[in-house]
Amino acid sequence: MTDWSERHRREGNVISFIPTMGFLHEGHLSLMKEGLLQGDKLIISIFVNPTQFGPGEDFDAYPCDLERDFQLAEDIGVDVVFTPNKADFYPQGFDTFIDQEQLPNHLCGLSRSGHFQGVMTIVTKLFHVVNPDIAVFGEKDFQQLAIIRRMVKDLNFNIRIIGHPIVRESDGLAMSSRNSKLTPAQRITGLCLINSLKKAQSSLKNNKTNAAAIIQDTVEFIGSHPDTEIDYIKICDPDTLDDVDSIDRPVVMAMAVKVGTTRLIDNMIL
């Protein structure tokens, strides 16, 4: 993989990279289109990274269809699909992890202990092996993007990180590989995430600037839907992810809600 990258860079190409866990959907495809626009060669990786899943999470049940993924990647113009295997990437005795002090102690990091340590470790490994000039990440995983940006800055990676807006189904549900696990009824219930973000946006337009009051309205709105369990609903500073009390500048409203057993996340800049 590294040789391929080096050879094409020496020929004057800008190398774009998109790390994924596969089961590609329109959201990934739009990251790929961005990668193709920004660079000359596009590499994607498909690797379901065990170190970012906690006990009881869905690592074993993570959806997978490599043949379909290869076809989608080829159709859109990906140059290389890099699929490292687990034994190569985490050989016996593997004992080094990347971590961060501040940003992981918010939002998803609070209920998914060790998750971002796993993400930073695999992204670092992939960056070293793929050695891209540019990497594109989706804004749906807002916290992940903030953490990767911080990591790239702190550890002097010479890689430009590009954030790409959330891609939604026509009814507004944020695209995710996990949506495939929703029953038809849960799929409809899942819309309460985007609908609650829109409600918060319009409350703000009506001069309701108290974050706690908006969050309380959102808790009630989501709670009124069957089969939902809120993990968190937060209004926070987009850079530090610290909670905001009064909304007097752009903030990010982010949430994680279980619909049935499927954990969905969504966010919006208000």
Applying CB under 6 A, the site for ligand PAF has a residue count of: 10
Instruction: Work out whether 52 is an interface residue with ligand PAF (CB under 6 A).
Output: yes
Catalytic one of 28, 106, 115, 225 = 28
Which 3-state string (H, E, C) describes the chain? CHHHHHHHHHCCCCEEEEEECCCCCHHHHHHHHHHHHHCCEEEEEECCCHHHCCCCCCCCCCCCCHHHHHHHHHHHCCCEEECCCHHHHCCCCCCCCCCCCCHHHCHHHHHCCCHHHHHHHHHHHHHHHHCCCEEEEECCCHHHHHHHHHHHHHCCCCCEEEEECCCECCCCCECCHHHHHCCHHHHHHCHHHHHHHHHHHHHHHCCCCEHHHHHHHHHHHHHCCCCEEEEEEEEECCCCCCECCECCCCCEEEEEEEECCEEEEEEEEC
CB of 184 to ligand PAF, least distance (A): 25
Please tell me whether residue 21 binds ligand PAF under the rule CB under 6 A: yes
Is 123 a residue that touches ligand PAF (CB under 6 A)? yes
Does 139 contact ligand PAF by CB under 6 A?
no
Let me know if 8 is a catalytic residue: no
CB nearer ligand PAF, residue 122 or residue 215: 122
Among the residue ranges 73-81, 115-123, 211-219, 227-235, the one whose residues contact ligand PAF (CB under 6 A) = 115-123
Q: Cβ closer to ligand PAF: 127 or 253?
A: 127
**Binds ligand PAF (CB under 6 A): choice among 20, 30, 176, 262:** 20
Q: Does residue 233 belong to the site contacting ligand PAF (CB under 6 A)?
A: no
49 binds ligand PAF (CB under 6 A): yes
Residues identified as active-site: 28
The footprint of ligand PAF (CB under 6 A) covers: 19-21, 49, 52, 119, 122-123, 141, 144
